[in-house]
């Protein structure tokens, strides 16, 4: 089974599992062993799925401002967790390809394998929720048809993205492309890099 197909299967399973309870606070029940690559994939998509729904909730125009601030901070934490998981997935590939004989003229891709996989994880959420809109009985036919058109594009994008991921991994394995990872440096979560936080700390000291 190709990596892209494996990712899609695990991501689809996770999205389906979430919607059994359909609640952002329902605990995750990852069915895979922690030593499996699938465990990381499931964890990754669960973060994406919960954050997808948090983003819906926070856009309620009548949301209590205090609750809104709490949700924004929760989304910030979720973004950091998402980045951490992507880097763990890249670590998996770094280990997988550590013995590859890289060609001297090997090229670097615009994004690492894990960040491409991140895109396909989000894509599964778009597909799931667009399909919901296509099936929404109370919506009018014009709305459903527009959503069907968008769903067709999303499914085409899934094929293209899957092909690109598998080709990238094949090129890395063959030494044609270089496996190179830049760690994300999110500054807003770091009290030593966010000027609002470190100025506040200086004032309190």
Who's near 174: CB < 8 A, 6+ residues apart?
100
Give the pLDDT of the chain (205 residues) as one tens digit per residue.
899 999 999 999 999 999 999 999 999 999 999 999 999 999 999 999 999 999 999 999 999 999 999 999 999 999 999 999 999 999 999 999 999 999 999 999 999 999 999 999 999 999 999 999 999 999 999 999 999 999 999 999 999 999 999 999 999 999 999 998 887 777 777 788 788 878 778 888 7
Hey, which bits of the chain come out as E strands?
107-108, 177-178
CA atoms 193, 195, 196, 197: torsion sign: positive
Q: Within 13 Å, how many C-alpha atoms sit on residue 110's CB side? A: 3
Indicate the pTM of the whole model: 0.92
């Amino acid at each position: 089974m190709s990596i892209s197909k494996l990712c899609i299967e695990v991501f689809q399973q996770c999205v389906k599992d979430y919607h059994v309870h359909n609640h952002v606070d329902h605990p995750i029940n990852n069915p895979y062993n922690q030593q499996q690559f699938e465990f990381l994939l499931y964890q990754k998509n669960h973060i994406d799925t919960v954050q997808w729904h948090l983003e819906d909730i926070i856009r309620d125009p009548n949301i209590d401002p205090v609750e809104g601030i709490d949700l924004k901070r929760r989304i910030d934490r979720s973004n950091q967790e998402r980045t951490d998981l992507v880097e763990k997935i890249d670590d998996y590939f770094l280990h997988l390809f550590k013995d590859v004989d890289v060609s001297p003229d090997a090229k670097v891709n615009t994004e690492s394998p894990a960040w491409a996989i991140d895109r396909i994880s989000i894509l599964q959420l778009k597909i799931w929720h667009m399909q919901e809109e296509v099936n929404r009985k109370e919506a009018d036919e014009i709305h459903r048809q527009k959503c069907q058109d968008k769903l067709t594009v999303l499914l085409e994008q899934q094929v293209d993205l899957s092909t690109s991921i598998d080709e990238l991994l094949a090129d890395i394995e063959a030494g044609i492309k270089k496996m190179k990872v830049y760690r994300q440096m999110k500054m807003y979560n770091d009290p030593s890099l966010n000027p609002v936080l470190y100025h506040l700390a200086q004032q309190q000291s």
